[in-house]
Structure 1
Amino acid sequence: MIDIDQYLDFGFPVDQIKFFICMMASYPFAMILKRLPNANMKHILSIVLGITYCSFSLGAYSWVHSLISSTVVYILVNVLPRRVAHIYVFVFAMGYMSASHWYRMYVDYMGWTMDFTAPQMVLTLKLTSFAWNLYDGSRPVAELSADEKKRSIKKIPTLLEFYGFVYYFPTFLAGPTIEIGDYLRYTSGEMFSEFKTIPSSGFAALKTFVLGLLCFPILTLGGTYTVAYLFTPEFAMEPLYLRVFRMWFHIVLSRFKYYFGWYVSEGSAILSGMSYNGLKDGVPTWDRLTNVVPLKVELASNIRDVSTYWNMGTADWLKTYVYLRLAPAGTKPSFKSTIGTYAVSAFWHGFYPGYYIFFVLSAFLTEVAKDIRRKIRPYFVSGPKDTPIQPFKLGYDIIGSMITAWFLNFYGASFLILSFDKTLVLWRSFSFMPPIILVGSFFILRFLVPTPKSQKVVTKYA
């Protein structure tokens, strides 16, 4: 058998080149998918290509994990009572994902080689949301929120429909996750019922693909200014101002590999038609599966914007199926919901210490941002409509953006470093001040700074 890996040495890791080939192949296949005359043919094409992509880029039998886990979930929702099936599915899917992470750590500790765990993480979101949607479909309509009604499904899809949903190829490898209801409406044509034919999405797909290509030069720059430099003796010896800048700069560059992958993946989803998200001013929009808005992430004035515009599919899943579900019916999410959500997110990512350091500190950063909005922001706005008091509100926003960007990048370094020891090396180069400032700010704002009397209780964060 011919080993094609020897022909794919272009200076990048072979696994990443194979991954890119699959994403590029999705564009012509997406045009075919969009034009297939019936739903069954669309399901079959997605299944065949999803399995083929997995075998080609991640290993000959890597697709077996997705087949086993999805089949077990399908059996669970068929044999268990609807009122509890979603809980068993959540436990099983997260358990399978966890076992996969442990295996990954055993065979490639601290490594970044691509394997089956990447699509398995996306699949975990799809399988758990599928079970929740079925559960919501069995509940009284009066108990559901508007969003839950929209996402709910009344009956279990056929096995062919289900596997088509599992292996939907434009987003199978890199995400984002998709909802079962959206997928079924897409393949049945119901999503485009207001049109005689499916509207053209070629220009929107090309625009998204070009945005991905624009990220590539910065991605390659990240190969020179690596995160690994941040825990070297050379970095610790640099002047403070240079350490502050380089810490921010190196982490920003590391994000462009995600921007590149998500844009290219989204482009093929748009081309397939699955990204259709209704009409705006009579013009079709194609942002249903948008997974990131880089400028809003990099220039965010608060952590809410970062959470909203980074890995949007996962953020939506965490909000819809974890954060809001942890709050008792009729109550608003509390600090416990925030901690629980970040804990699930860390658990979903894996078991390296760096993940848990990042998400615990992010939970504190989220709560600090909430308190700043409640207790500090009112001094920079006036009236019931929160009219900005200029130029002070502008200064508040600029300083907020700088602080958000730097602190989130500092804590995010542990997410990329993975190691507890190396995280401490980075923290030591800043005399441990950033985490001390964060925790200190939390207690000062939460327990010492009073809320302005005219300020109503606000649960959203800045």
Structure 2
Amino acid sequence: MAAAGGSLLHWAAEALGASEPALRLILSIFIGYPLALFQRYFLFKKQPSHIHLFNTVTGICIAYFNFGSQLYHSLLCIVLHFLILRLMGRTVTAVLTSFCFQTAYLLGGYYYTATDDYDIKWTMPHCVLTLKLIGLAFDFYDGGKDKDSLSEDQKLNAISGVPTLLEVCGFSYYYGGFLVGPQFSMCRYTKLVNGQLTDVEGQKPNSIRPAMERLSLGLFTLVIYTVFGPYLPDSYFLTEEYANQPFWYRCVYMTIWGKVMLYKYVTCWLVTEGVCILSGLGYNGKDDKGRHLWNACANMKVWLFETTPLFTGTIASFNTNTNDWVARYVFKRLRFLGNKAISQSAALFFLAIWHGLHSGYLICFSLEFLIVTVERQAMELVRDSPLLSRICSMSLLYPFLYVIQQSFHWLFMGYPLVPFCLFTWDKWLKVYMSVYFVGHVIFLLLLFVLPYLRTVLVQKKDKLQKSH
């Protein structure tokens, strides 16, 4: 039966023009909807142990369907993590041990399984699990500290009790977040299990409509990627045909490719967010107007992603859950260093190696840091210049400026994504050479020129004020 099932999936994957692991991943994400419906209708307010067991068994089955016997990697890390917390208690030693062990295990997995292409292997969900378990260690440690010494985030996520092994397994293998995220705390998971995440107290959450809205949006982005993705393959960058195209064509291809390529991630996150909403995990209380919110597990701010002309806007709208995790457990925890730049660099370095050991990840995040720095300097220059501020505020020029800014924005969003997708230095270097390192040149030049212009502008303003 297994062989027949594998053959059927292989045939279906070939018919769809996809790989069998990719088809298994997509099916596993969508299977979350019937599982969430079952939990919503039959497990709401039931024994917590039954819900933990359901989440553990379904998650393990999904792991086995995708990765076979290699699911032992996740089981081993979960059990050892549980033992670290129980034996070492709420100590800094436990946090450091869990952080080092989980990170080292993930990097070891990358080292032994990495190829020059993007492969769907056990390391893909394991990177999600790594963050989840490290966050659990921090939250368990915070639960033993004086509440007055904790930040609001830490108070919200601190674990006061001692989790059981079954609870940790249910939290880790929850079907709505095991494969591609999102990240959520043990406290949120416990509230889900206890039936607290609902818009009607004591009753099942009215989660079907908001879940279907995210699913529909996810299916729409899936259609966009399925239709246009095959015409914009990563491999085209490495062909002689691309190298022989006019410079403007190479830049335009990079721009459109970067936008479309991101839709495969957008699709996965929107569909899994729908699963989380349907089960109740996505419920996030009410807003200022009393409307119920279902965005607790959102990993995408779709409207901002589609409309922002700013690099910072795209970064703030994309993979927000992971960005929040890194800010909470890496950036803010390094506050004792007393240097924001060092903390930010360390957070970006961790984010880069968390994605993998290929040089492309380091180059990508380094370039994004450079681009964001330059963009902030440019915005400060516009703010301090009366002439530039006046031009930018002219409603007649706004559509024209918006189109130019969006074109520039997406060209240089696609630019750092090249090494992110091509991984190895020989590949991304070839592409950058073909476009004459245009992004590096422009942004390194602006990095030095913009502060100089702003300094000159400020000096002129000071002279004018003194003369008056």
Same fold (TM over 0.5): yes
8 Å CA contact 1:361–1:411 kept in 2: the answer is: yes
Q: 2:261 aligns with which of 254, 257, 261?
A: 254
Measure, in 2, the Cα distance between the counterparts of 1:375 and 1:93: 43
Q: What letter matches 1:98 in structure 2?
A: L
| Deviation digits for residues 407-430 of structure 1 (CA, Å, limit 9, x no counterpart) | 121111110011211111111121
Measure, in 2, the Cα distance between the counterparts of 1:201 and 1:308: 26
Deviation (angstroms), 1:81: 4.9
Alignment match, 1:46: 55
Measure, in 2, the Cα distance between the counterparts of 1:139 and 1:323: 20
Measure, in 2, the Cα distance between the counterparts of 1:23 and 1:176: 12
| Deviation digits for residues 8-27 of structure 1 (CA, Å, limit 9, x no counterpart) | 22232111222222222211
Is 1:138 matched up with 2:144? yes
Choose 44-53 or 362-371, whichever is displaced more: 362-371
8 Å CA contact 1:338–1:363 kept in 2: the answer is: no
8 Å CA contact 1:98–1:350 kept in 2: the answer is: yes
Q: 1:443 aligns with which of 445, 448, 453?
A: 448
Is 1:15 matched up with 2:24? no
Measure, in 1, the Cα distance between the counterparts of 2:189 and 2:2: 37
DSSP 3-state at the match of 1:274: coil
DSSP 3-state at the match of 1:284: coil
Alignment match, 2:419: 414
| Deviation digits for residues 49-105 of structure 1 (CA, Å, limit 9, x no counterpart) | 0000010122x2122111111111111122225231222211111111101101111
Is 1:165 matched up with 2:171? yes
Structure 1 runs (4+) greater than 6 angstroms displaced: 380-383
Alignment match, 2:130: 124
| Amino-acid identity (%) | 26
Alignment match, 1:337: 343
Q: What letter matches 2:432 in structure 1?
A: W
Alignment match, 1:291: 299
| Deviation digits for residues 423-457 of structure 1 (CA, Å, limit 9, x no counterpart) | 111111211221122222223334663284899xx
Measure, in 1, the Cα distance between the counterparts of 2:397 and 2:345: 30
8 Å CA contact 1:212–1:260 kept in 2: the answer is: yes
453 and 161 in structure 1: CA distance in 2 versus 1, 3 angstrom threshold: farther
Q: Which residues of structure 2 form unaligned runs of 5+? A: 462-468
Q: What letter matches 2:230 in structure 1?
A: G
Q: What are the residue-to-residue correspondences of 1:351-430 with 2, within 5 Å?
A: 351-379=357-385, 389-391=393-395, 394=398, 399-430=404-435
DSSP 3-state at the match of 1:279: coil
Deviation (angstroms), 1:137: 2.2
Q: What letter matches 2:49 in structure 1?
A: N
8 Å CA contact 1:380–1:392 kept in 2: the answer is: no
441 and 61 in structure 1: CA distance in 2 versus 1, 3 angstrom threshold: same
Q: TM-score, normalised by structure 2?
A: 0.89
DSSP 3-state at the match of 1:290: coil
Measure, in 1, the Cα distance between the counterparts of 2:155 and 2:59: 29
446 and 326 in structure 1: CA distance in 2 versus 1, 3 angstrom threshold: farther
Choose 177-186 or 431-440, whichever is displaced more: 431-440
Quick check: which one's helix share is greater?
A: 2
Alignment match, 1:218: 224
Alignment match, 1:181: 187
Q: What letter matches 1:45 in structure 2?
A: F
Choose 273-282 or 398-407, whichever is displaced more: 398-407
Alignment match, 1:459: none
Q: Which residues of structure 1 form unaligned runs of 5+? A: 456-462
Is 1:328 matched up with 2:336? yes
438 and 232 in structure 1: CA distance in 2 versus 1, 3 angstrom threshold: same
Alignment match, 1:97: 106
| Deviation digits for residues 127-153 of structure 1 (CA, Å, limit 9, x no counterpart) | 111111122222332322222211222
Alignment match, 1:276: 283
Deviation (angstroms), 1:236: 2.0
Choose 62-71 or 275-284, whichever is displaced more: 275-284
Q: What letter matches 1:293 in structure 2?
A: K
8 Å CA contact 1:291–1:312 kept in 2: the answer is: yes
Deviation (angstroms), 1:251: 1.9
Measure, in 2, the Cα distance between the counterparts of 1:443 and 1:89: 41
Q: 1:305 aligns with which of 280, 305, 313?
A: 313
Q: 2:158 aligns with which of 152, 166, 178?
A: 152
Deviation (angstroms), 1:198: 2.5
8 Å CA contact 2:36–2:279 kept in 1: the answer is: yes
8 Å CA contact 2:56–2:173 kept in 1: the answer is: yes
Measure, in 2, the Cα distance between the counterparts of 1:341 and 1:2: 43
| Deviation digits for residues 324-357 of structure 1 (CA, Å, limit 9, x no counterpart) | 222327x5x6222222111101110111111111
| Deviation digits for residues 233-292 of structure 1 (CA, Å, limit 9, x no counterpart) | 211222222222111111222112112211221111111111001123333221111111
